[in-house]
């Protein structure tokens, strides 16, 4: 599954652009093309980490879409796996949310791009399971793509539901925290929470511990905006369609792409000035 060449002869590392429990992400230059790439360096120690990484490579290789961060190659250096991906030069949606106030037009364009990615994954029977603003990546041309498939899972005819409690607590759907069997619509709930982030700059229960947040998600019903009158009725309705506690009543990505809030969205290129101003 991996390239046996030495990546150190192929790429020049430029800077560290992120880190997490898995390891680090660096920006690098491809010697042959002069193009920039992102390299996710994953420490493979531990069987679970190996399984998750194998899963991530398989899903990224299979799921090629303009709405998903593009996988390029992978290399093994001892106990470290290098996952080479396209470099998203605009940072993350989380950066934008923390530094500026989004207009509803901008929220609508971002929502459409993300939902196109989720619709593509769900049609291919993949659940992302970690949709949040820091896993939504941007380019300075206005592109918006889903990234980080480290917790994703591939559904099969034999296993069309999952029960594992996986994800980041504040973005988890009620059925996940309650350990009920779940399907792709958990990603829709998580994206509804991203909608909250875009409006309020943080998810509901952000000031709570992970355990308390999970308890409140399990018992609190649909989260409510703190200042609902400051947003349009259309956006409130869109968030309500994402955040139905009953999975059956929650809209799918395909249905949400038909929602008036999304169908009125401007082209993604209109996001370029916003992304560039935040990057500067």
CB 17 within 8 A of CB 23: no
Measured CA to CA, the distance from residue 131 to residue 213 in angstroms comes to 17
Per residue in 140-165, pLDDT (tens digit) is: 999 999 998 888 998 887 777 887 88
> Which of 73, 89, 105, 130 is the catalytic position?
130
- Of 38 and 23, the structure prediction assigns the larger pLDDT to 38
Per residue in 105-132, pLDDT (tens digit) is: 999 999 999 999 999 999 999 999 999 9
Please spell the DSSP secondary structure of 159-211, one letter per residue. Answer: ---B----S-GGG--HHHHTT--B-THHHHHHHHHHHHHHHHSS-TTTTS-HH
49 pLDDT higher than 80: no
2 pLDDT higher than 90: no
Per residue in 255-279, pLDDT (tens digit) is: 999 999 999 999 999 999 999 999 8
pLDDT band of 47, cuts 50, 70, 90: low
What is the token pair recorded at 237? 């309705």
Q: Which residue has the tokens 């982030």?
A: 197
* Predicted TM-score of the model (pTM): 0.93
**What domains, with CATH codes, occur in the chain?**
7-86 (3.30.200.20), 93-279 (1.10.510.10)
Q: Is 73 a catalytic residue?
A: no
Report which of 55, 92, 91 is spatially closest to residue 71, judged by C-alpha positions: 55
């Amino acid at each position: 599954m991996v390239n046996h060449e030495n990546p150190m002869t192929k790429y020049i590392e430029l800077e560290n652009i992120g880190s997490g429990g898995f390891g680090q992400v660096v920006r690098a230059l491809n010697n042959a093309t002069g193009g920039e790439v992102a390299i996710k360096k994953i420490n493979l120690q531990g069987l679970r980490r190996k399984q998750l990484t194998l899963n991530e490579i398989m899903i990224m290789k299979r799921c090629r879409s303009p709405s998903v961060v593009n996988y390029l190659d992978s290399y093994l250096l001892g106990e470290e796996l290098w996952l080479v991906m396209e470099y998203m030069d605009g940072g993350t949606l989380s950066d934008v949310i923390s530094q500026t106030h989004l207009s509803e037009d901008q929220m609508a364009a971002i929502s459409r791009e993300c939902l196109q990615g989720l619709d593509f994954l769900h049609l291919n029977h993949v659940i992302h399971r970690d949709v949040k603003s820091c896993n939504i990546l941007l380019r300075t041309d206005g592109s918006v793509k889903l990234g980080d498939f480290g917790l994703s899972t591939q559904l099969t005819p034999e296993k069309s539901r999952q029960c594992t409690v996986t994800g980041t607590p504040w973005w988890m759907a009620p059925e996940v925290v309650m350990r009920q069997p779940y399907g792709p619509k958990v990603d829709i709930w998580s994206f509804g929470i991203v909608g909250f982030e875009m409006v309020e700059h943080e998810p509901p229960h952000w000031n709570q511990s992970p355990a308390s947040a999970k308890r409140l998600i399990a018992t609190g019903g649909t989260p409510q905006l703190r200042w609902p009158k400051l947003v349009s009725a259309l956006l409130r309705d869109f968030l309500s369609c994402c955040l139905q506690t009953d999975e059956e009543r929650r809209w799918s990505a395909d249905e949400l792409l038909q929602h008036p809030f999304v169908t009125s969205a401007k082209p993604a290129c209109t996001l370029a000035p916003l992304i560039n101003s935040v990057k500067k």
